[in-house]
Amino acid sequence: MELVKNFKNIIFLAIVVLFVLQMIVMKKEGSINQEKESAKKPLIGLSTFSLYSITKSIAKDTMDIYMILPFGVDAHSFEPTPKLMAKISKSDLVIYSGAGLEPWTHGFDFKNRVINMSKYVYLRELKAGEHHHHHHHDDANKKHNEHYEIHSDAKKSHTNIDPHYWLDISNMIKATNVITAQLIKIAPQNTKIYNKNRDALKASLNKLDADFRDRLSECKIDTIVVNHNAYSYLADKYGFKVEALGGLSPEAEPSAKKMIELIGHVKKHNISTIFFESFVSDKAIKSIAKEAKVGVDVFQPLGNITADEAKQNLSFEDIMRQNLEKLAKAMKCQ
């Protein structure tokens, strides 16, 4: 009897062991299949957060989408590592912002399809007194075939262009159309999905534009004070002014004269809040705020986002709505 009982225990134990082994094998096979499936997805690289965000909204999980610029890094001074350069080179599609924002693209050997988005949007020319410190030359002399575009060295300077065009929401709608068309070329089997997601995104962006117009239509203050003037597209579109410590370059050092002028402006116009960016030193702007006895807040220009913002899975629209609330409060809008 005892022998039979032991035999049954052995059989039961063997069944349990076989079941566990089968589960391990199935899990391993599933992981391999998942890796193979992921490897089959087209690899798409985007140079800035704004382009990355709308591409994710259109493609969803049908493509392997990554942002070239690491979260928390300033777009103006970024240089890719050799490992990242290799990833960019093997990508099926690379879309970069252009207009002088990314010096690293100059002379880069893109192996496959590449799009300079600044070619497809409205670009604002700098006005008298504005300065652009990025002496990057844009790509020219495109050569096309059905597989790729090759961008050669260029001779056209973009030092007279404001590169922060994504803050004009109509430009983001244009970019949405361009990106959708490119994704369809790569994965035509997903045409219906991409067109549906494109239409939903455009409707959302149009609503965002309408909300900006409505919220900023009646304000007691018509000027914002910032440390880096990345906001002229917004200001031009929605009818307010920008006073900045520096020009378009976040690295520009403000002069003592400029700081004194801004302190006077803040006091004279009863400004209650002045803005700085996450990737720029806030020392000068906080000094002005302390002297003028006003508050400070972060305003997000959306060339990139912080690692904390990335963890929250915030989209372009999410952050733009946060910006809208801060603008409305600072300018005392009804």
- Same domain as 183, residue 112: yes
**Which of 40-44, 103-107, 328-332 has the least mean pLDDT?**
103-107
- Same domain as 246, residue 165: no
pLDDT for 76 beyond 90: no
The answer as to whether 247 is a domain residue is: yes
pLDDT score of 227: 83
Kindly indicate the confidence band of residue 328, based on its pLDDT and cuts at 50, 70 and 90: very high
Last residue of a domain, one of 182, 210, 238: 210
The whole-number average pLDDT for the span 139-144 is 34
pLDDT for 32 beyond 60: no
The answer as to whether 11 is a domain residue is: no
Last residue of a domain, one of 158, 185, 210: 210
Kindly indicate the confidence band of residue 154, based on its pLDDT and cuts at 50, 70 and 90: very low
Please enumerate in sequence order all residues whose Cβ is within 8 A of that of 205, keeping only pairs 6 or more positions apart, or say none.
169, 172, 173, 176, 317
The answer as to whether 32 is a domain residue is: no
The answer as to whether 291 is a domain residue is: yes
The answer as to whether 183 is a domain residue is: yes
Average pLDDT score, the chain: 83
CATH number at residue 242: 3.40.50.1980
- Same domain as 319, residue 269: yes
Please enumerate in sequence order all residues whose Cβ is within 8 A of that of 152, keeping only pairs 6 or more positions apart, or say none.
139, 140, 141, 142, 143
Q: Which domain holds residue 154?
A: 41-210
Last residue of a domain, one of 210, 239, 268: 210
Kindly indicate the confidence band of residue 40, based on its pLDDT and cuts at 50, 70 and 90: confident
- Same domain as 46, residue 106: yes
User: What's the full length of the chain, in residues?
Assistant: 334
- Same domain as 278, residue 250: yes
Kindly indicate the confidence band of residue 13, based on its pLDDT and cuts at 50, 70 and 90: low
For residue 261, the tally of other CB atoms under 10 A from its CB is: 15
The answer as to whether 102 is a domain residue is: yes
Between 282 and 169, the higher pLDDT residue: 169
pLDDT for 200 beyond 90: yes
CA 28, 63, 52, 317 torsion-angle sign: negative
pLDDT for 24 beyond 80: no
Based on the structure, what is the number of domains in the chain?
2
Interval 235-289: pLDDT, tens? 999 999 998 886 545 555 677 888 888 899 899 888 999 998 877 777 888 888 9
Q: Give the whole-number percent of the chain exceeding pLDDT 90.
A: 57
The whole-number average pLDDT for the span 214-237 is 93
The whole-number average pLDDT for the span 216-239 is 93
- Same domain as 256, residue 319: yes
DSSP assignment of 95-164 equals EE--TTS-GGGTT----SEEEEGGGGS--EEPPTT------PBPPEEEEE-SS-EEEE----B-TTEE--
